Amino acid sequence: MALLALGISLTGLAQQGERPNSAISRNLEIFNDIYKQLDLFYVDSLDADTVIGWGIRSMLRQVDPFTDYYPEDDEELRQMATGKYAGIGSIVRFHKKEDRVVIAQPYEGSPSMKAGVRAGDVIQTIDGKDVKGMGTPRVSTMLRGEAGTTFELRVKRMGVDEPLTFHITRQTIQMPQVPYYGMVSPGVGYIFLTGFTDGACREVRQALLALKAQGAVSLVLDLRDNPGGALNEAVDIVNLFVPKGRKVMFTKGKLSSVNRDYYTASEPVDTVMSLVVLADGGSASSSEIVCGSLQDMDRAVIVGARTYGKGLVQAIREVPYHGNLKLTTSRYYIPSGRCIQAYDYRHLNPDGSVGTVPDSLTRVFHTAHGREVRDGGGIKPDIEVRPDSLASIIYDLVEDDAFFDFATLYASQHPTIAPAGEFSLSDADYEQFVAYIAQSGFTYNRRSDEVLELLKNVARREGYYDVARAEFDALEARFSTDLEADLRRHRKDIEPYLCDEIVQRYYYESGAVKQQLVGDACMKQALQLLADPQRLDSILRPQTP
C-alpha cells in the first residue's frame, strides 16, 4: 500500500487524457525501477527504510500537514490518541549554551519528580551514554521505554559541584488534559483544557461538577493554544452544556462511508450557566468544534482571537507491516452549516506557501438566534482581544534561555515562594535579574537600531545622508541606552514571563496556569462580561431591527 501511495504522488507526469489507473501503474513502474537502479548502481549502500520513508513523507507533504505515516513501533500516534506513554514524566528541551537537553518541567507526581529530578537539571548521561549535542527528539526516545524498566540518569544541577545520579523506573504516564481548574471570582469557575485525547471530556466533566459544588454559576472554558485531538471528545464536551439530541456537527468526504452526523447523546451537566470560551490562533481542530458549535448554538460567547482554521478530519488506516496512515478523509461542518477551514493545501501560492481564504470570499451563515457568522477562516471571536505588542528584548531573552536560567538560579536560592497567582518579584529580586543578565554575556539586536541603520543606508543611496547627518546622529544618541536601562524600562512586560517560569518550578503546570491568569487581558474581558448578564444576553440574543 505504501508503494501504491508513492506512485500516486507522480501522477502529474501522466499524459493528457490518460486514465487514472494507467497513470498509477506507469508511475509505480517508474518508481520501482528508479529505486532498483539506485540500489544496484549508487556508489554507497542505501537503507531502504530511510530512503523509501523519505519518499513517503515527501509525497504526504504535498497533501496537507495533517496526513502522516507511522511505521511499526512508532509510539507518537498512540500518544496523540491516548495521551499516554511510558517514560519518566518530564518535559525536556534543548539548551543552546549547554549544547544539551535539560529538564524543563517534571510532571507532578511523576517518576522523575519522585526521584528528585528538578527543572533546570542538565542531562549528562543516560545509562552511561553521553548525550552532549543530541537533539530533543533523540533524548526523549532514550528516556522512554517499557514501563517497569529502570535506567540511570546523570545530571548537572546549578549550585551543585558534582553530577547527580538517579535511578528511575519508567511508568505509564497519563498526561492530564485539565491541568488546572478553580474559582476565579465569586460564582465564576475556570477550566483550562490542553487537548482532546481519550478521557478529556471525563476530566472536564469532573472539573465542572467540582466547580458547581463550590458555587460556580458561570464558567470560563480556556481553549487557548489547544491543538485539538479526538473528534468524539469535542462532541461530548459540547454535550456537557447543551441538551441531548442536538446536532453538533457533520462530516463530508469523497466516500459516503465517512459522511456522518454527530449528535449529543447524553444528558447535559448544565444548560443554563453563563459560559465564556477563550480561544486564540493556537486553538485548532477539536477546539474549534467546541468553540464553533457553542457559538452557532448561541450557547457561549467566544473571547480572544481568531482560531487557527482547521476544518479537516483525519482517520487512521492500517498499512502493511503494522504501520499506520493518518490521512484526511473529510471536512467537518458545525451547526450553522459552515466549514471553518482556512487553508487551501491543494492550491499553493507561487512561492510554495499555503494560501488562505480571504475574508471577501467567505460566506455568511447564521447562528440559532440569527447572528451572522462566516466560514473559511477559523472561528472569529464575539469579543476580540488583541494581544499587546511586546518589546523585542523579550523575544531575545526567551531565545537566549535567560528566563529559564534565572528561574533555575532563583529556585536554588529560595526554598519556598508565595502561592501561585499571588507571587510577584520584589524590587530587589528584579534588580538581581538585571544584574544576572548584564553579567551573563547576553546580547540583543534592538529592532530600532536595525531600522535606523536601514534608513541611513537608504539615505546614503539617495544622497540625503550628509544633509541629515545631524538628525541621524541625534537619533542614534537617543537610541543608545544600555542593556540594564532597557531591562528596567520594560520591567512591566518582562516580569510576567519571569514570574511564570519561577512559579512553575514550585507548583508545576497547574501553578503556572494559575499564575498566567494574573493580568490576563482575555480573562479580564471574560469576568467583566460574566458580571454583566444583560450585556452577555445582548450578544447571544441580539435585537432584530
Contact 219, 274 (CB under 8 A): yes
Catalytic residue among 110, 287, 310, 382: 310
Long-range contacts made by residues 81-85, C-beta under 8 angstroms, separation at least 24? 81/197, 81/198, 81/229, 81/230, 82/197, 82/198, 83/174, 83/175, 83/177, 83/195, 83/197, 83/198, 83/199, 84/172, 84/173, 84/174, 84/175, 85/144, 85/172, 85/173
pTM (2 decimals)?
Answer: 0.88
Would residue 110 show up in a list of annotated catalytic residues for this protein? no
| Interacting residues of 146 by C-beta distance below 8 A, sequence separation 6+ | 86, 170
The dihedral region occupied by 315, where left means phi > 0, alpha psi between -120 and 50, and beta the remainder, is: beta
| pLDDT of res. 351 | 76
| pLDDT of res. 478 | 67
Catalytic residue among 121, 222, 296, 400: 296
Chain centre distance of CA 404: 19
If we measure between CA atoms, which residue out of 293, 285, 288 comes closest to residue 247? 293
Domain residues of the chain, as ranges?
2-62, 84-174, 180-384, 392-527
If we measure between CA atoms, which residue out of 510, 516, 522, 539 comes closest to residue 277? 522
Catalytic residue among 218, 285, 287, 293: 285
Q: At what angle do helices 491-516 and 427-439 cross, to 10 degrees?
A: 110
Q: At what angle do helices 447-462 and 469-479 cross, to 10 degrees?
A: 170
- Can you tell me the distance from the alpha carbon of 459 to that of 317, in angstroms, rounded to the nearest whole number? 61
H/E stretch holding 511 reads helix 491-516
Would residue 310 show up in a list of annotated catalytic residues for this protein? yes
- Can you tell me the distance from the alpha carbon of 288 to that of 280, in angstroms, rounded to the nearest whole number? 10
Chain centre distance of CA 42: 42
| pLDDT of res. 95 | 96
Question: Which cell numbers in the block locate residue 61?
Answer: 507533504
- Can you tell me the distance from the alpha carbon of 28 to that of 30, in angstroms, rounded to the nearest whole number? 5
If we measure between CA atoms, which residue out of 311, 310, 315, 278 comes closest to residue 295? 278
- Can you tell me the distance from the alpha carbon of 263 to that of 243, in angstroms, rounded to the nearest whole number? 10
Which DSSP string do the residues of 153-173 spell out, in sequence order? EEEE-TT-SS-EEEEEE-EEE
- Can you tell me the distance from the alpha carbon of 403 to that of 388, in angstroms, rounded to the nearest whole number? 20
Amino acid at 58: S
- Can you tell me the distance from the alpha carbon of 78 to that of 101, in angstroms, rounded to the nearest whole number? 24
Contact 510, 179 (CB under 8 A): yes
Would residue 185 show up in a list of annotated catalytic residues for this protein? no
If we measure between CA atoms, which residue out of 331, 253, 335 comes closest to residue 291? 335
Long-range contacts made by residues 146-154, C-beta under 8 angstroms, separation at least 24? 146/86, 146/170, 147/86, 147/171, 147/172, 151/126, 151/127, 152/125, 152/126, 152/127, 152/128, 153/88, 153/115, 153/117, 153/123, 153/125, 153/126, 154/123, 154/124, 154/125, 154/126
The 10 Å Cβ neighbour count of residue 182 is 19
- Can you tell me the distance from the alpha carbon of 235 to that of 226, in angstroms, rounded to the nearest whole number? 16
Q: Which CATH architecture has domain 84-174?
A: Roll (2.30)
- Can you tell me the distance from the alpha carbon of 301 to that of 529, in angstroms, rounded to the nearest whole number? 9
| pLDDT of res. 260 | 97
Contact 254, 242 (CB under 8 A): no
Strand spans (E) along 52-143: 68-70, 84-87, 90-95, 100-106, 122-126, 129-130
Contact 103, 364 (CB under 8 A): no
Amino acid at 75: E
| Interacting residues of 94 by C-beta distance below 8 A, sequence separation 6+ | 100, 101, 102, 135, 136
Q: What are the φ and ψ backbone dihedral angles of 468, each rounded to 5 degrees?
A: -110, 15
Task: Give the Å distances, CA to CA, from 343 to 100, 227, 355, 358.
Answer: 36, 16, 6, 10
Q: Is 260 helix (H, G, I), strand (E, B) or coil?
A: strand
Question: Which cell numbers in the block locate residue 326?
Answer: 493518518
- The tens-digit pLDDT sequence of the chain (545 residues) is 333 333 334 344 444 555 667 888 999 999 999 999 999 999 999 999 889 989 998 999 889 999 999 988 777 888 888 888 899 999 999 999 999 999 999 999 999 999 999 999 999 999 999 999 999 999 999 999 999 999 999 999 999 999 999 999 999 998 899 999 999 999 999 999 999 999 999 999 999 999 999 999 999 999 999 999 999 999 999 999 999 999 999 999 999 999 999 999 999 999 999 999 999 999 999 999 999 999 999 999 999 999 999 999 999 999 998 899 999 999 999 999 999 999 988 877 877 788 888 888 899 999 999 999 999 999 999 999 998 888 889 999 999 999 999 999 999 999 999 999 999 999 999 999 999 999 998 887 766 767 777 887 888 888 888 888 888 777 776 665 688 998 999 999 999 999 999 999 999 999 999 999 999 999 999 999 999 999 999 999 987 65
Q: What is the dihedral of CA 7, 13, 14, 17, to 10 degrees?
A: 150
Fold of 180-384: 2-enoyl-CoA Hydratase; Chain A, domain 1 (3.90.226)
Contact 218, 273 (CB under 8 A): yes
| pLDDT of res. 481 | 62
Provide the 8-state DSSP code for 196. Answer: B
